[in-house]
Amino acid sequence: MKKRVLVAVSGGIAAYKACDVVRRLQDAGCDVRVCMTEDACSFVGPITFEALSHHAVLTDLFGFAESPNPHIMMASWADLCICVPATADIMAKVAAGIADDCVSTTILAFHTPVLFAPAMNVHMWKNEATQANVRTLQSRGYGFVMPASGMLACGDVGEGKLADVSEIVAAVVERLGAKRDLAGRRILVNAGPTHEAIDSVRYIANASSGKMGFAIAEAAADRGAEVVLVAGPVSLPTPDGVERIDVVSAEDMHDACMAAFERCDAAICAAAVADYTPVRKADHKLKKSVERIDAIELVETKDILAELCRVKDGRIVCGFAAETDDVVAYATAKLARKGADMIVANDVSKSESTFGSDTNHVVLVTASGAEELPTMPKPQVADAILDRIAKMLPELA
């Protein structure tokens, strides 16, 4: 999957160089979107960036056709933001937490890396207020592509010239550099719901969208793993480089997972598998006017997580716990009961971590304790989970 970069353009004469940054990032294989301050639009028109990026350009938080909350949409979409040129004004706003335009608001909404490429007059750059803001931003994890020295647009000579475009693009590409820590590994992931048939058209299911499991499968493949994705009935596209096995019922998913795990180093069970299935399944549509259903007798389905843990023999097995209360307590008990190496727990009663949401708020529970992560887009949650899995795996021979 292409890495996604938001280019945030603020109002400086070097704004025209952001056009070249967009094109060079595309040449590097990135999908690029652009947001601009009002002042930036005085230097380069948004239509130029629309033509270059093939996306609508965000210039105002109101009336953006793609989303009523475009700053959140952009921050969730992008893997990284590069602010180029970064003026003294935009850095001061972000350092102070001021969000009064689309660029400052969007940058403050980011969960993923943000880089600044400053450009301004030498005296503005060396001003102690600007330097204090740079230090503040660096202390908070923001990255910088520092300005060069040379002839400035105003005629002064000194530090403050925008870094070379190739240097800016190289910094972005380096920061985006995909980890290959799972190369040589084979990972099983299951995802989505299961459908437990009542008759030929009716079934028992849940609201799982499969987004979290698919994000894990995609991230694992990006990090070099061979991935087998056992997917319940969802309409999500297959991630690039992933072997997909489609199933319907809990029994189908059990059989596919057990077979695939024989040749895997780890299993991540993100699917919301039905706990129960009807004892009897009619082979035709039951007519309520003829075949009244007073009760449906249910039987427990096979416990895929427990079965994988039973046969893991030194391999890594991670499960999920979708809870509505006492999340950590239930996940800790599940970890011990199943014999898993890690349980990813989330509260599905909350909007940011419910079925179908694009973000998740999880707690990673292992034998050594519980680690709560901030609310993040699911691809970032997937990488956080894989960071822990990678450390658990034994070294390759």
Nearest to 230 by CA among 257, 212, 249, 267: 257
- What is the Cα Rg of the chain in Å? 25
Contacts of 65 (CB under 8 A, 6+ apart): 56
For 389, half-sphere exposure in the C-beta direction (CA atoms, 13 angstrom radius) is 32
**Token digits of residue 257:** 């997972």
Q: Give the DSSP per-residue string, 146-176.
A: PPEEEE-TTS-EEEEEPPPHHHHHHHHHHHH
Q: Is 83 a catalytic residue?
A: no
Please answer whether residues 185 and 266 qualify as being in contact, where contact means their C-beta atoms are separated by less than 8 angstroms: yes
Instruction: Determine the longest span between alpha carbons in the chain, in angstroms.
Output: 90
Q: For residues 177 and 161, give the distance between their C-alpha atoms in angstroms, rounded to a whole number.
A: 26
Please answer whether residues 240 and 223 qualify as being in contact, where contact means their C-beta atoms are separated by less than 8 angstroms: no
Element (H, E) at 86: strand 80-86
Burial grade of 395 (CB within 10 A; 0-12, 13-18, 19 or more) = exposed
Please tell me which residue in 41, 154, 264, 309 is annotated as part of the active site.
154
Q: For residues 237 and 242, give the distance between their C-alpha atoms in angstroms, rounded to a whole number.
A: 11
Sign of the Cα pseudo-torsion (210, 239, 248, 191, in order): negative
The single residue listed with the structure tokens 């009663």 is 349
Backbone angles phi, psi at 71, to 5 degrees: -65, -40
Report, as residue numbers or ranges, the catalytic residues.
154
